[in-house]
């Protein structure tokens, strides 16, 4: 067992060493207390040296899965982690509670209060708020540079970056890869979306939103611009050529630029949804040149904002 030291001079948690990686880094499995007192797991790895280190947190998908999911991704989606560790970044995978259908649109801003000495909220925290809690927690450790924290989120986790940065300024820079930001943009789906008869929840797996103009015509532009207007974090939006949601990806970037935000756009020609996180198959990473290019683009983006001279 080992522990990281927080800046108040005491250890809040003892962190389990899962094992040493092939390159000798220690994997820390950490339980983070979220806003309502429940815990969510993260897997953190530190580069060589004493720190404090810049930190980038990886996330993908719409939540759930817990520790087993986390360990699997640390094992089988670690190619990108190793690239960051080699550049001196602390990094790792995070997990969070499951997405709530339209919880962001319908729940309103989280309000915290006290009743009879305990916490009282107007609603349960949502998954993106778990990520904020994780960021704030990791800022307490000596090994982490609290002023140089970045996020790399894919798909729903890319949308979470927009939600996070629209109400939280504690991130230095963020990358939203293939952000499925239909809820953030207040999109009204078309006839390609069906209702699951068993659950009565929307089935958006086949939603066709390749056209930027189609997406623009179907969003509530006032709501979307209001949400974007409060973003102060530089964001790199990554698209994927031919993706059925490419119009959503691109419009997310377009609205950032129209609202005069620091933003970058680039689209990549790759068959895999989630190409930024190569997957190990048969104990081998078969990484294509376009994936190497994308990872280098992300590293360059973070370097620009983490190490720029103010």
Instruction: Give residue 26's pLDDT band: very low, low, confident or very high (50, 70, 90).
Output: confident
Give the separation between CA 145 and CA 149, rounded to whole angstroms: 7
CATH number (domain holding residue 243): 3.40.50.1820
Whether 228 shows a pLDDT value over 70: the answer reads yes
Mean pLDDT of the chain: 91
pLDDT of residue 51: 84
State percent of the chain over pLDDT 90: 78
Task: Decide: 28 and 156 in contact? Cβ < 8 Å.
Answer: no
Name the burial class of residue 208, with classes exposed (0-12), middle (13-18) and buried (19+) by CB atoms within 10 angstroms of its CB. middle
Residue 248 forms part of a structural domain: yes
- pTM for this structure? 0.93
Q: If you ran DSSP here, which 8-state letter would residue 219 be given?
A: B
Residue 3 within any structural domain of the chain = no
User: Is the per-residue pLDDT at 137 higher than 60?
Assistant: yes
Q: For residue range 170-191, what is the model confidence (pLDDT) as tens digits? A: 999 999 999 999 999 999 998 8
pLDDT at 1: 38
d(CA 294, CA 177): 10
Mean pLDDT of 238-254: 97
Q: Are 267 and 246 in contact (CB under 8 A)?
A: yes
Domain assignment present for 263: yes
Q: What is the H or E stretch that residue 1 is in? A: none
Check residue 11 and give its pLDDT.
Answer: 45
Q: Is the pLDDT of residue 306 over 90?
A: yes
Length of the chain: 310
Q: Comparing 269 with 28, which gets the higher pLDDT?
A: 269
Question: If pLDDT is split at 50, 70 and 90, which confidence band does 281 have?
Answer: very high
Average pLDDT over residues 261-278: 97
Task: Look at 5-14, 65-74, 183-192, 262-271 and tell me which has the smallest mean pLDDT.
Answer: 5-14
Residue 99 has pLDDT above 70, yes or no: yes
pLDDT digit string (tens) for 139-175?
999 899 999 999 999 999 999 999 999 999 999 999 9
Quick one: pLDDT band at residue 203, thresholds 50, 70, 90?
confident
- In three-state secondary structure terms, 166 is helix
∠ Cα 32 132 145 (to 5°): 80
Within 10 Å of residue 224's Cβ, how many Cβ atoms? 21
Tell me the average pLDDT across 226-239: 98
| Number of domain units in the chain | 1
With respect to residue 2, please indicate whether it lies within any of the assigned structural domains. Answer: no
Q: How confident is the model at residue 17 (pLDDT cuts 50, 70, 90)?
A: low
pLDDT digits (tens, 9 = 90+) for 76-88: 999 999 999 999 9
Residue 206's pLDDT band, with cuts at 50, 70 and 90, is: confident
Look up residue 174 and give its DSSP letter: E
Q: Containing domain of residue 271, as a range?
A: 16-306
The average pLDDT across 11-22 equals 56
């Amino acid at each position: 067992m080992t522990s990281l030291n927080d800046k108040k001079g005491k250890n809040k948690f003892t962190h389990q060493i899962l094992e040493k990686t092939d390159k000798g880094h220690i994997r820390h499995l950490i339980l983070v207390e979220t806003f309502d007192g429940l815990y969510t797991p993260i897997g953190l790895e530190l580069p060589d040296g004493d720190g404090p280190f810049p930190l980038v947190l990886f996330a993908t998908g719409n939540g759930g899965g817990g520790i087993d999911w986390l360990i699997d991704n640390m094992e089988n989606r670690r190619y990108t982690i190793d690239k960051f560790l080699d550049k001196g970044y602390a990094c790792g995978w995070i997990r969070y509670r499951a997405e709530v259908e339209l919880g962001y649109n319908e729940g309103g801003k989280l309000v915290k209060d006290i009743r009879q000495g305990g916490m009282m909220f107007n609603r349960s925290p949502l998954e993106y708020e778990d990520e904020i809690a994780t960021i704030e927690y990791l800022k307490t450790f000596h090994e982490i540079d609290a002023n140089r924290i970045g996020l790399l989120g894919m798909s729903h986790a890319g949308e979470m970056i927009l939600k996070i940065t629209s109400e939280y300024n504690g991130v230095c820079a963020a990358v939203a890869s293939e952000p499925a930001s239909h809820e953030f943009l207040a999109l009204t789906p078309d006839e390609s979306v069906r209702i699951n008869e068993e659950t009565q929840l929307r089935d958006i797996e086949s939603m066709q939103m390749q056209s930027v103009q189609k997406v623009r015509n179907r969003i509530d532009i006032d709501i979307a611009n209001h949400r974007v207007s409060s973003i102060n974090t530089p964001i790199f939006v990554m698209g994927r050529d031919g993706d059925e949601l490419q119009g959503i990806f691109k419009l997310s970037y377009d609205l950032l630029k129209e609202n005069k935000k620091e933003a970058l756009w680039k689209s990549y020609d790759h068959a895999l949804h989630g190409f930024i996180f190569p997957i190990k198959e048969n104990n081998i990473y078969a990484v294509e040149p376009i994936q190497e290019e994308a990872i280098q683009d992300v590293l360059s983006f973070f370097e620009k904002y983490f190490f720029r001279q103010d």
